[in-house]
Amino acid sequence: TTMAKTFKHIILGGGVSAGYAAREFAKQGLKPGELAIISKEAVAPYERPALSKAYLFPESPARLPGFHVCVGSGGERLLPEWYQEKGIELILSTEIVKADIAAKSLISAGGETFSYENLIIATGSTVIRLTDFGVEGADAKNIFYLREVDDADKLYEAIKAKKNGKAVVVGGGYIGLELSAVLRLNNIDVTMVYPEPWCMPRLFTSGIAAFYEGYYANKGVNIIKGTVAVGFTANSDGEVKEVKLKDGRVLEADIVVVGVGGRPQISLFKGQVEEDKGGIKTDSFFKTNVSNVYAVGDVATFPLKLYGELRRVEHVDHARKSAEQAVKAIKAAEDGKAVEEYDYLPYFYSRSFDLSWQFYGDNVGDTVLFGDNNPESPKPKFGTYWIKDGKVVGAFLESGTPEENKAIAKVARVQPPVQDVDQLAKEGLSFASKI
Ligand code: FAD
């Protein structure tokens, strides 16, 4: 038998939170050889959101090493050399297939064993596939999903190979909206299909969605709502040719992109750490119920102090901040010190075409739409407040300036009372700017 490779700290997963955790370890002080990052991806941690945006642009697309962490939040870019200089071992193209929490060890597909004192679980999410539900023909060629840089490369090749072709985008969430836009920019004929009455229903109100649906229609994106893809046919090469919809319609397709959601990758730890709300349960320091095991990013179900409840958040800003919090807590514990509890303000964003929105806080309660949400306007700018128990608890803004985005973030944090909802609608953004 071979000896286990031993590290003081192992980060399992090489995505966004792994990169930000590594930077925080370096900042807090780390000896060479103490930290390893184990990733099934072949590249150092990078800013994943780029994959559905600039990575697929027709002109000068973003490529690694351009978007390694921590450029996405205005920090220094961590190239593979950086990890080398810091004595951080990047163990790439290595999938862990077994975790033994009691023995403090991980085993790779290649049969290697890695031991640790502290483990940070940063395995992120995996996409939900149509083949998971046995959708007929869903294993045809040119049906794509998007999670990792390899997936983006395959989609990019298909876009080049199917020049001026037709694409069907299954799903009306972030991935569906961002990929539809970028496929249109590549002059692909795009049809989106989703079952809900409007896009991004988990966040958007009908008023917000109406703007994006109108804007996308003006850009030539066809939208079919209220039905789902129930099957695919392929040509003699096994390439997808048609998408069959539940309502009986059949759409031609050279490319299909599926964005129907993700699920946290926690199966390695089943029965070994406590779970809640579909993720690994942590405290405010991202420590699990096992004292030397932490979980950060998409997999963590943590106390969201502002709302007094446990939540799981699948967004990049939280991946970054939770990673930093976990490392601060690990280092403070070593010195017998304490760190402050995580006090997160949820922040989501997306970009497509010339659009860019930000959302802060909680999307619960009544809503007030303000501003110009006419998709035909030359410079549309609009937003929405969410009001619960007489206080503004969430705010959304399309096409905000940096100052305006800061103002809506502050509103969501401060939760000012609202006396008059009609007045709030009239004041719009100036309400936020006064807080
Ligand atoms: P990830 O970044 O997913 O990293 C997980 C890593 O773990 C991967 O490298 C994976 O290969 C590795 N791994 C998993 N299991 C194993 C194993 N068993 N062995 C070895 N390695 C393993 N959020 C936003 O807020 N705004 C956006 O615009 C936005 N755009 C996005 C676009 C795309 C295409 C995607 C996929 C996500 C987007 N997100 C966005 C979400 C955001 O990227 C994630 O929330 C964030 O990446 C989560 O970070 P993480 O470190 O938890 O997981």
C-alpha 367 – ligand 1 centre gap (Å)? 31
Ligand 1 atom nearest to CA at 318: 45
* C-alpha Rg value of the chain to the nearest Å: 23
Residue 161 has pLDDT above 90, yes or no: yes
In the predicted model, what is the mean pLDDT of residues 29-58? 97
Provide, for the chain, the percentages of residues in helix, strand and coil under a 3-state DSSP scheme, each rounded to the nearest 5. 30, 30, 40
Res 155 pLDDT > 70 = yes
Q: Strand 275-276 relative to strand 89-91: parallel, antiparallel, unpaired?
A: unpaired
- Quick one: pLDDT band at residue 84, thresholds 50, 70, 90? very high
Averaged over 318-346, what is the pLDDT? 97
ipTM of the complex: 0.99
- Residue pLDDT, tens place only, 351-373: 999 999 999 999 999 999 999 99
Q: Which of 123, 182, 322, 348 to mutate to test the pocket of ligand 1 (most atoms within 8 A of CB)?
A: 123
Rounded mean pLDDT of 148-177? Answer: 97
Cα separation of 48 and 362, whole Å?
24
**Residue 361: per-residue pLDDT:** 98
Under the banding of pLDDT at 50, 70 and 90, the label for residue 2 is low
CA 373, 378, 384 angle in degrees (round to 5)? 20
Q: Is 51 in the pocket of ligand 1 (CB under 6 A)?
A: yes
Predicted confidence (pLDDT) per residue in 236-264, tens digit = 999 999 999 999 999 999 999 999 999 99
CA distances from 227 to 172, 197, 222, 223 (A): 11, 9, 14, 11
Q: Is the CB of 324 under 6 A from ligand 1?
A: no
In terms of Cβ atoms closer than 10 Å to its own Cβ (0-12, 13-18, 19+), residue 61 is: middle
CB of 13 within 6 A of ligand 1: the answer is yes
The mean predicted confidence, pLDDT, of the chain is 97
Structure tokens at 135: 């959708």
Q: Which atom of ligand 1 is nearest to the CA of 13?
A: 7
Q: Is 91 in the pocket of ligand 1 (CB under 6 A)?
A: no
Confidence of residue 3 (pLDDT cuts 50, 70, 90): confident
Angstrom distance (rounded) from CA 216 to CA 411: 29
Q: pLDDT tens, 411-432?
A: 999 999 999 999 999 999 999 9
pLDDT 10s digits, 116-154 = 999 999 999 999 999 999 999 999 999 999 999 999 999
38 pocket-lining for ligand 1 (C-beta < 6 Å) = yes
